[in-house]
Amino acid sequence: MMKITTSFAALLLALSAFSQDLPNCNIFLFDTSMRDSLLTLSNPQMLTAFNKDGYNNQPCFINNTDILLASASPNDKQTDIYLLDLAAKTKLRMTQTAESEFSPKPTPDDLFFSVVRVETDADRSQRLWQYPLDRKDQGKSVFKYLRGVGYYHWLDRFKVALFNITSGDLNYLSMADTRDAAIQNLSPSVGRCFQTSPNGRLVYVHKITSGNWVIKALDKNTLEVSEITKTISGAEDFVIMKDGAILMGKGSRLYRYHPLKSQNWQEVAELKRLGINNITRMAVSGDGKLAIVNGG
């Protein structure tokens, strides 16, 4: 046990309802360290106390001190992107639009941040956009005609992995190229979380059946796929630590699995006493700070 020192249809419904009924969720931050194969979390703090009754989700570190998130106050009808400076303890609003923006991530050139933007058209199109980090202009769409982006992950300067809503209840893991907008559909029925492994592979969840969810890794060049392990039952969000270990959460419990060292998932934390009872998305910084979303 870790030591603490202080259904796809439902997804589509959630995406379409974001502007109407945003769930309450908050982001907590921990320092992490490894001691004798024991994962230790310390210095817990709620990053989103400024909006504790609102929506605060999808954290992503730009560097060791700056973190992007999607946020909305209880009375807001759409989300915007904020930047938290952990060192200066300040927040900066990065977007202020009529549309909702989700899933902020820095682009590989570190000049922009990208988002899934829910348009205000009749179809509520979901497109991938990018905005300059210096906020000098109003941004632009990355793929002009691609309107079913649920989630995404940059593979390099030009290639991006997509949770691509193609039609009806069908979604694909797709790979798109910003240079010519070419798209390859690679695998149906994937999860919303994408990560990069230490050896550069795309790691994702393949929902083979309702009771069989598997974490897999994809080589972006050869498209070779290998299986890592089954997920924690019913969980799809995960994060990869610097040493290659995978963390997943379910309820108030945090689990760890190392592809080269583990045979099974190991429970490493119970966070209920901190008020965390529904671990979902996570993010980790280069120096080992772990952000955990409670709710959402």
SS3 127: strand
Strands (E) across 143-273 are located at 149-154, 159-167, 170-177, 183-188, 190-196, 202-209, 212-218, 225-230, 238-240, 246-250, 253-257, 266-270
SS3 274: helix
In DSSP terms, 226 is beta-bridged to 217
Token look-up 């682009």 returns 107
- What single-letter amino acid sits at 125? S
Q: CA-CA distance, 210 to 186, in Å (whole number)?
A: 20
Tens digit of each residue's pLDDT, the chain (296 residues)? 444 444 334 344 344 444 458 999 999 999 999 887 789 999 999 999 999 999 999 999 999 999 999 999 998 989 999 999 999 999 999 999 999 999 999 999 999 999 999 999 998 999 999 999 999 999 999 999 999 999 999 999 999 999 999 876 789 999 999 999 999 999 999 999 999 999 999 999 999 999 999 999 999 999 999 999 999 999 999 999 999 999 999 999 999 999 999 999 999 999 999 999 999 999 999 999 999 999 98
- What single-letter amino acid sits at 166? T
Q: What is the pTM of this model?
A: 0.92
> Are β-strands 170-177 and 159-167 bridged in parallel, bridged antiparallel, or unpaired?
antiparallel
Token look-up 């994962």 returns 39
Residues whose CB falls within 8 Å of the CB of residue 218, separated by 6 or more in sequence, listed in order = 161, 173, 186, 201, 202, 203, 204, 224, 225
Q: CA-CA distance, 217 to 224, in Å (whole number)?
A: 8
How many Cα atoms within 13 Å fall on the side-chain side of residue 202?
A: 31
Token reading at 113? 């941040």
Judge whether 126 and 145 are in contact, CB under 8 Å: no
- What domains appear along the chain, each with residue ranges and CATH number? 3-294 (2.120.10.30)
